[in-house]
Amino acid sequence: MADKRRFEFFAGFLRERFPQARRVYDVAGGMGMLNAELAKAGFEAVTYDVRRKRLPVPFAERRFTLDEPCACDLVVGMHPDGATRLIVEYAAKHRRPFAIVPCCSDDGSPYKTWMKVLRGLAETAGFRVEESALPMDGRARVLVGYFNG
């Protein structure tokens, strides 16, 4: 079972790691629960998801794509499932840092293998990658990419 405070933990982690960031894209953010916690942490966030049921937060009801205009300082995803790889690719295209808490792979690989795939993708795209963990139950590993270019 996922930790109910995961969004709070991730928002705090992001504020600590990215103190200068202001605008955040929350990709595949579901109902916008991370967005609400990001606002409490001082960020301006937009959640991208196709879900209709959501919290009253800034929300773009559509699939996030590589062609989304970039007006953010940071791209994030909390268990973004099929959008995890997209976050890394978008961040690389627009030379923005990213932070993701991966859950399910998009290629059927096991979790540890998926983490290696994501790290390799980010490093190949020019990111310095760090791995950390949130103090929570469930999938808690965080991959953070800082653009080297």
The pLDDT value given to residue 2: 64
Cα–Cα dist 79/22, whole Å? 22
Question: pLDDT exceeding 70 applies to what percent of the chain?
Answer: 98
| pLDDT tens sequence across 79-88 | 998 999 999 9
Give the mean pLDDT of 10-14: 98
| pLDDT tens sequence across 30-53 | 999 999 999 999 999 999 999 888
Beta strands in 8-136 (DSSP E): 23-27, 44-49, 59-61, 74-78, 98-101, 127-133
Does the pTM surpass 0.85? The reply is: yes
Q: Are 142 and 10 in contact (CB under 8 A)?
A: yes
Fold of 6-147: Rossmann fold (3.40.50)
Q: Where in the chain are the domains?
A: 6-147
Per-residue confidence at 148, pLDDT binned at 50, 70, 90? confident
Tell me: pLDDT of 5 over 70: yes
